[in-house]
Structures are given as C-alpha cells and as structure tokens.
Structure 1
Amino acid sequence: MTPAELSLALRAALVRAVDDGAVDLDLTALPAELHVERPRQREHGDWATNIAMQLAKKAGVAPRLIAEAVAVRLRETPGVASVDVAGPGFLNITLDTAAAGELVRSIVEAGPAYGRTQELAGERVNLEFVSANPTGPIHIGGVRWAAVGDSLARVLQAAGAEVTREYYFNDHGAQIDRFARSLLARARGEEAPEDGYGGAYIEEIAGAVVAGELAEGRPDPRTLPEAEAQEAFRAGGVDRMFSEIKASLHEFGVDFDVYFHEDALHESGAVERAVTRLRDLGHIFEADGATWLRTTDFGDDKDRVIIKSDGEAAYIAGDLAYYLDKRERGFDRVIIMLGADHHGYIGRMMAMCAAFGDVPGVNLEILIGQLVNLLKDGKPLRMSKRAGTVVTLEDLVELVGVDAARYSLARSSADSSLDIDLDLLTRATNENPVFYVQYAHARTANVARNAADAGVRREDGFDPSLLDHESEAVLLGALSDYPRVIAQAARLREPHRVARYLETLAGSYHKWYDQKRRVLPVGDEVVTDAHRTRLWLNDATRQVLANGLGLLGVGAPDRM
C-alpha cells in the first residue's frame, strides 16, 4: 500500500464515520489530500496522521472522538493491521507485511515516474538563476546557483509545474563598459584600468577579438578611434565571454530555455510601458525633475527614482520592465535567485510586485544564496588559474568532477553559508556523501547483474509478505517517503531535501544488504520466492536512487 492509497483509505473511513453518524462533520472541509507521514519512532507504526486534530475545531468536537471513529473504520481496510489512537488524537497506522511490501511492485512498475506528483500542475513558473555578468568566468557563488537552480527546476517539474529556466544577460551598463576598456587595454599591451577586470582570461579574449576582426577582413580594432575601438571590444568581448559561460554551464549539465538580453528592455520600449502601467495605477509621481515610484505605499523603506533628472533610466527601471515582461509572457510565478549581496534588494522588488497589483511571495519570490568556501588541504582556496582572483566553475569541475560538484553544492540549504572540503569529495569513502549515494546505486545494479547470472528473475515470483525483516520495514519506509520529500522540496523551494533523503535511503539499503537478506542463492540452494521478492526490493531501491539523483542532475553509475 502506497501513502497515496492509504490517504484514500483514510478519506473513505472519514466519509463512513460521517455517514454512520459517528461524527458530525462538513465533508467539504476536508483538504484535497489527507497527509500521512512516517512516525519518528518505529514502534508507533508505519504511518501517522493528525487529521483528527485538523478537523476538530471546525467540527466542534474533541479530536480524539474523531480519531476513534475513524480508527474503527480504518481497521476494516484490507492491508491495515492495526490503528491506534494516541495522545489528543493522533492516528498511528500499521500495515500488514504484504500490504507494506506491495509498495515495491508500485515503484518498479512506475519506474522514472515514481515520486512525481501533480501538486503544482497548471502553474507556469519562470525561474531565473545564475545570470552572471558576461565580464568573466562564473565564480563559485554563481556555480552554487547553477547547481541549486537547475535542481530546483527539476524538482518543480517533478511536482507538476511547467518551468522555464531563464538567464538574464546583463549586456547593458557600466560593468560592460569597464569590461570593454579592460580588453582594449590588454590588447594594446597596457595595464587594465583601475576599475577594470584582470586575469589571464582578459588577455585571451582580447586576443580572440583582434583575431576575429582581422579574420573577417575588418581593421585591427586596436588602431580604431577610441570610441570605435571600445565598441568593437565590447561587442566582440561580450559575445565571446557569454559563449564561454554558456559552454561551461552546458558541461555542468545546466541549460536555459531563455537568454534574455537586458539591452532589449531599453531598445523595445519596455521600460516606458512599465512606467505608463504604474502611472495609470496611480503609483508614479514627479519630484526634483525625476520620475519616482511610490514604493513606500507597499512596505519599502523609501520611494525609488525610476527616471533620473537627466532623463536616464535608473537601475530599478529595468527591473520593473523585466518583471512586467515575465508576467505578460504568462508566468504565474516569477522566482529569482540572487546572491548574498542582494539581500537589501528584496524590499524594493516586493514593493514593485505589489505596485503592479500582484501578490509578493506568490507572483514574485526571491531566494537569496549565501557564500561558498572551498577548502583544500585544510585551507581556503581563493585563487583561480585563469580568473586570477576567484575560483570558477571550471576550477571546481577540474578538481572534483561534475557529479561531486553539483551534489555538494545542492545538498545544503542555499540560505546558509557552505564549506566544501575538496579533498573529501575526491575520496571513495562513506564520508564522501556523493560517493555514498552513488555507491548504493552501483551496489543495487551489481546485485541485479549477479541475480540475472544466478537465474533469479522478478517475473517468476513476488510475495511481499516475505519482506518481514526489520531492515526491510525500514527500507520500505524510506522508499515510501520519496513522493512526500519531492512535494515538500518543491513547495519549500529546497532541493537539498532530496540529497539528504538519498543519503538516508542509501544508509537503509546498505544496512539491509549487510543483514544478509540474500537475493542470490548460496551453494546448491534452490531459487525461491524469497530471493525473487528481495530482488524486487533491490530494484525498487535502485529506481528511487536513480530518480533522486536525476533530480539533482547527478549521474547514477551502475559500476564504481
């Protein structure tokens, strides 16, 4: 029996209690899904629910009365061994062995679909992450967002949402001008401007721009008048840098559906349209020769200038236009992932959302990621071979590989600082979390191969009542928890929950394996349904490990 099936049985028991007159309850008050969860203590049963306490206030009766009425009827459900009422009205449910074991068949038959839900079906989500300026390689903070953002997109999709991954391409503004001047200086053999960019990559790209211009039969950009030279290095440099960024992300397993150019907001008139919309809504005023948005009406600490007194658009003007553009493209939810230095940005963005008539925290969500510290030989690693001042995506992948990099960055809550021990991630030991989980998957694959060689085949028999060992109950419990973990990770925007779950599942599998619940016959032993049923359990574990690793963008190797 799966958690979903038990939830339906629980609902049926409630309906019968009402129909029998044991409980006076408005059935329209029932939530869409009656949640069951694993109790913290194994002796409390396989599943628990507090639904009686949730309904008691509306029913105007003691929760224990509802719980006892439901328990009587739930005990009649095939596959339910016992139902106990605990405390003020908790229901502790124990399944019989065969009913619990049937989960294995459900997982194997569902395959990659196991764990996926329709909880967010119908929601169109625009998820913007990374969005590093095209002025240098992606540094470690951006790499964290690449791993977390892509994993979150996969988790949201597993919960039924339609997700568009979007990269905001900052090709407008002062940082691009500094980048162009830095390239031009290096191309001429000069030092970069004091406020410019350094590192070996600047020299590489500057050389590539010169070579590209000459190959196209155009003049050497170094010899052009200053304004023309800067424009040549701006256009050529940004194009080459962004191509490198996209290639690096692709190698990291991260691709975007939309690359949105900041310049397009200013060239298309989107800023003017956004200002007009807000003016029509009554939130714009003029003062000191500038155009302002009255964000203090929506909780901001001060009103914001949109168009400066010199006629230039302020930075927030682009934000207004970009948010409105996303909503006009039909997205119900706009999720933006920003670095730790953008925390002060939240108030004005939420005020902007409210000014457009939307709901902050619903139509617009902002996730803030904290810093990442890399440790090697016990010391902080801060320098890049190519970027000079920061560790880049390429540096991290070179040191530990894509799988270890992605897993380690995604396994902790993004709103907390993260220390990564690079030496640990290269070890083939249980202390290395990605190895621990991947090894569990490889072990299940090895068991399946050996079973095939020994003539143990799933299709020849399955008796879930034979999964009667304590280690099997624990493993079944872990497997049954996977859909709940996915739904919670999607709802809370916390893909790290998937990684931590996989580590628990891997631990349960290793303990089961170590209990010598053999899939393979020993010596002259005849193959029995016990062997075949344990193979079902082994293969169900393999499937869930693969599904979970896939949500993190991490490989599920068959051999290690």
Structure 2
Amino acid sequence: MTPVELSRTVLRAVRCAVDDGELSVAVPEHAVVTVPGPGGRGDYATNIALQLARPAGCPPLQVAEILCPRLRDAAGVADVEITGPGFLNIHLEPATATAALVGEILDRARPNGGQCPSGPIRLTGTSRPDGPTATGDSHPAVGHRTPAAGPRQTATTGHIRPAVGPTTHTPTGPRYTPPTTDHTPYGHTPTLAQTVVPLRIPYEVRAEVVADTLVRVIATQGGRAEVDHVRPGETVDLRPVPAPEDPAPLGPDAARWALLYPAGHDRPRITADHLLQRESNPLFRVRYAHARARALGRNAVRLDFTPVPGDVTDVPSAAPLVRALAEYPNALTQAAAHRAPDRLARHLVAVADALLAFQHTVLPLGDEKPSAAHRARLALAEAAGTVLAGGLSLLGISAPDYL
C-alpha cells in the first residue's frame, strides 16, 4: 500500500462514515498522508479529522474516533492510533509497510538519480573576506540559497566558487535507467514551512560549506535559509570548529565530506584517509554502496527482471536497511533543526552499511530463476541507492554510478 493508496483508503473510511450517517460532510477530493511528525507513531499519519472537524460541527477527536475503526478494517492496516488533537496514526502490516516505504521512495526519486545538476559551492583555495558574493547556485530539487540583503552580502571567493554539479557516469547496459521522476524527493517534510532561517557565519571555509549544505537541508523541510557573513566580534548563528588546514587538495567531494562528517564542535581531520577506497573510509562506503545499488539494477536488466516493491521479511538483513530508510526523513529533520549536517552524513553511512550487508541476497544464484522475492529485494536496494544519491546531493557530493 503506497501513500497514494492509503490516501484513498482514508477517503473510503470518510465516505463510509458519511453513508452510515455518523458524519455529515462533503467527502474531500484528497486526504494528506505523510510520515508521522514529532510525537506521532506508526508508519503514516493523516490530519483528515482536523480537516473535517469544522464542517462536521464536532471536535477533531470525535471525528478521529469515528474514522478509526473503519481504517482498522482496511486491508493491509494492522492498527490505528489517535494522537494529539485528532491525528490518525496508521500502522501497516510489516510486508505492506515495507512495500509502501520502498514504493514511496522510488516514486519520489529525483531527476538524475538524485544528483545535483547545478551544484554547490566548490573549494579552490584560501579565504579572503573582501571578495564578491559567492553564495552558491540554485538547487532544482530542494530549493536554492537566497543571499542575505544588506552591506554584508559579500562573501569569500578565495576558497569557494559557484561550479557545475558533480559529474556522473551513465550506465550503458541495455534498457537500464535509474529512477528519474520529478516528484517531491523522499524525506521532504514541511516542518519549517515558509520559515526563514538566518545563518550568520564567519569568514571561514568550514562555516561556509556547512551553511551551503544547510541551505539545501532546510529547504527539504519547507524552509528557506538566508546566509550572511559577519566580521570578527559580531554575533554568529553558526560557528563550527575551523579546519586546521586548507581542505582543497583533497578534491571537492572528499573536502566537503571532511568538513561535514564531524560534528560542528569537533575539529575536522584533513588527511588523505578520505581518499582511500577502503572499508575504513565512510565516504567510500557510502559512494560504493550507491554504485552497488546501480550495478544490481544493471545486472537485473540482463537477467530480464525489474524491481517491484514487496515483502522482504524472508531476508533477515533486510530489516536494518528498511529501518534506516524509514528513519531518513527524521535524519533530515534533525539535521535542519540542529543546524547539523553531520547527522545526515552519519545516517547515510548507516544506510550504506545496511545495504552492503543486504546486497548479496538481491540477485538469483546459479540456475535460480528471478522470482517475486528477487523483484522485492531489488526494489529495496534501488530505493536505498536513491536515498544515498539524494543524501549525497544534499551534502554537495557526487554519487557516481560506477566506482
């Protein structure tokens, strides 16, 4: 059951209540179904009771109590809870919940498999507080940086510059393409809807990279960040521990990861370890896991089967991956709320590690023929690859299909 199907289920419950005479309202054309917010429970939540309370002439809690048993009787629904003033929190059957989660991620896959077409700011040298504005480019999937107005709109140019986005290799296998739709990306939660978040930062490379990333992360929450530079002695909103040396020699991707992966109060390590293609390097694991997800898709095409969201409970290693994907929207929310992109980076490592443990179960072995189970596992792996690509894009780091 996808969120769209669950929305129809909610509307059917409303229609049944109207037909039975328990509610006297016009059945709306659409019911909003989202991942539960803070204080919510279950797999999905809807505010339909709050929406109908005024036309029904009764409190939202009463509307929710009328709809609750009808939703519980729906196929694929395990339980329904009421929280707050009347939010309906829907628990799906485990297999149904996984299929719905995977289906939502794939439906919301961003163009270019989650890549960043226009790109973030790029590291190129040392900082100077007297150059022209260099506040980053627009980001088509998740919003854009809005330069703050006023005399301090100027920023550094010695170590950053607007640049084209990360380059990627396009698979050349027969008929294979990663998910590429134009829907709202998975993890978009309007917790900061129409909120302007000021980010006053010092003239320092790490502060600028963190702010550049937060512009995109905050946009996933429906907010808009305005970045302004301040001079020594003035109040700042964001002051991560500076890098001990220039990160530019690491290259744009490793440099950004080196500055973003540690918590803001920790001093980043600017070492060549970030360039090693080894299991000990978190950046390598994240990008390698994404490349493996794309490789599984190419190999599945050669075996003539495609991903279909479904039940993966027969594979023990699937549970940690499903859990990590389900927690991704919350990781974005926390990263935006605490101005901490390291929370996103660390969550991507958790998704990558879970995918690398699960990947060996996806394709048929030996003479085994592709089955519904393989299609469901492939869909889960592809969803994980989509989340990794989208998360790396928010960090301003490329996610190559080949590594």
TM class by shorter-chain length?
0.5 to 0.7
1:421 CA displacement: 1.9
| Residue 370 (structure 1) aligns with | 239
Bigger Cα Rg: 1
2:161 aligned partner: 249
Partners in 2 of 1:406 and 1:50 — Cα distance?
Answer: 38
Task: Write out per-residue CA displacement over residues 376-409 of structure 1, whole angstroms, 9 at most, x where no aligned residue.
Answer: xxxxx3xxxxxxxxx4xxx3121x3211221343
Matched, 1:547 2:390: yes
Amino acid at match of 2:303: V
Matched, 1:71 2:61: no
Tell me the alpha carbon deviations over residues 98-125 of structure 1, each in whole angstroms, 9 at most, x when there is no partner.
5632554554455425999xxxxxxxxx
1:435 aligns with 2:347: no
Aligned position for 1:319? none
- How far residue 446 of structure 1 moved from its aligned partner, in angstroms, is 3.5
Gaps of 5+ in 1: 117-128, 131-135, 173-240, 255-331, 345-366, 375-380, 382-390
C-alpha contact 1:340 1:368 (8 A) present in aligned 2: no
Report SS of the residue matched to 2:91.
strand
Corresponding position of 1:458:
305
Is 1:407 the equivalent of 2:257? yes
- The answer to whether the aligner puts 1:528 opposite 2:371 as a matched pair is yes
Query: For residues 225 and 379 of structure 2, what CA distance do their matches in structure 1 show?
Result: 42
Alpha-carbon distance in structure 2 between the residues aligned to 1:56 and 1:431 = 53
Equivalences for 1:315-354 in 2 at 5 Å? 335-338=226-229, 341=232, 343-344=234-235
Question: How far off its partner does 1:544 sit?
Answer: 2.4
1:82 aligned to which of 74, 78, 83: 78
Q: Distance in 2 between matches of 1:77 and 1:115?
A: 34
The alpha-carbon deviation at position 464 of structure 1 amounts to: 1.8
RMSD: 5.3
CA distance in 2, matches of 1:333, 1:40: 24
Give the superposition deviation at 1:538: 1.9
How far 1:72 sits from its partner (Å)?
1.2
Q: Which residue of 2 aligns with 1:94?
A: 92
Identity %: 29
**Count of residue correspondences:** 332
19 and 494 in structure 1: CA distance in 2 versus 1, 3 angstrom threshold: farther
Does 2:247 correspond to 1:422?
A: no
Relative to structure 1, is the Cα distance of residues 164 and 61 closer, same or farther in structure 2, using a 3 angstrom cutoff?
Answer: closer
3-state SS in 1 of match to 2:362: coil
User: Is the 8 Å Cα contact of residues 101 and 464 (structure 1) preserved in structure 2?
Assistant: yes
Residues of 2 paired with 1:457 and 1:372: CA distance? 51
- SS of the residue corresponding to residue 372 of structure 1 reads coil
Q: Is structure 2 residue 386 aligned with structure 1 residue 537?
A: no
Is the 2:7–2:31 contact (alpha carbons within 8 Å) kept by the matching residues of 1? no
Pair 1:505-2:381 in alignment: no
| Aligned-residue offset at 1:557 | 2.6
What SS class does the counterpart of residue 458 from structure 1 fall into? Answer: coil
Give the AA of the match of 1:94. Answer: L
Q: Is the 8 A contact 2:10 2:31 kept in 1?
A: no
1:172-212 deviation per Cα after TM superposition (whole angstroms, max 9, x unaligned): 9xxxxxxxxxxxxxxxxxxxxxxxxxxxxxxxxxxxxxxxx
Q: Deviations over 1:216-237 (max 9, x none)?
A: xxxxxxxxxxxxxxxxxxxxxx
Alignment check: 8 A CA contact 2:3 2:100 kept? no
User: How big is each residue's C-alpha offset from its partner over 1:260-292, in whole Å with a ceiling of 9 and x where there is no partner?
Assistant: xxxxxxxxxxxxxxxxxxxxxxxxxxxxxxxxx
Length-normalised TM-score, structure 2: 0.59
- TM-superposed CA distance for 1:438, in Å, is 1.3
1:347-384 per-residue CA deviation (whole Å, 9 max, x = no partner) reads: xxxxxxxxxxxxxxxxxxxx72204343xxxxxx3xxx
Residue 284 of structure 2 aligns to a residue whose secondary structure is helix
Q: Which residue of 1 aligns with 2:400?
A: 557
The 8 Å contact of residues 110 and 141 in structure 2, kept in 1 or not, is answered as no
Q: In structure 2, list runs of 5 or more residues that go unmatched.
A: 115-120, 167-222
- 2:399 is paired with a residue whose SS is coil
**TM score, norm. by length of structure 1:** 0.45
**Shift in alpha-carbon separation, 1:32–1:504, aligned structure 2, 3 A:** farther
Distance 1:53 1:504, change over 3 A: farther
- The Cα offsets for residues 441-484 of structure 1, whole Å up to 9 and x where unpaired, read as 122234344445xx42334x747245654543553454455567
Higher share in helix: 1
CA distance in 2 between partners of 1:108 and 1:171 (Å): 39
Q: Deviations over 1:230-260 (max 9, x none)?
A: xxxxxxxxxxx98x738x5246969xxxxxx
* 3-state secondary structure, aligned to 2:226: strand
The alignment partner of 1:419 has SS state of coil
Deviation at 1:434, TM superposition (A): 2.0
1:488 Cα deviation after fit: 7.6
Give the partner amino acid of 2:284.
F
Q: Distance in 1 between matches of 2:145 and 2:233?
A: 24
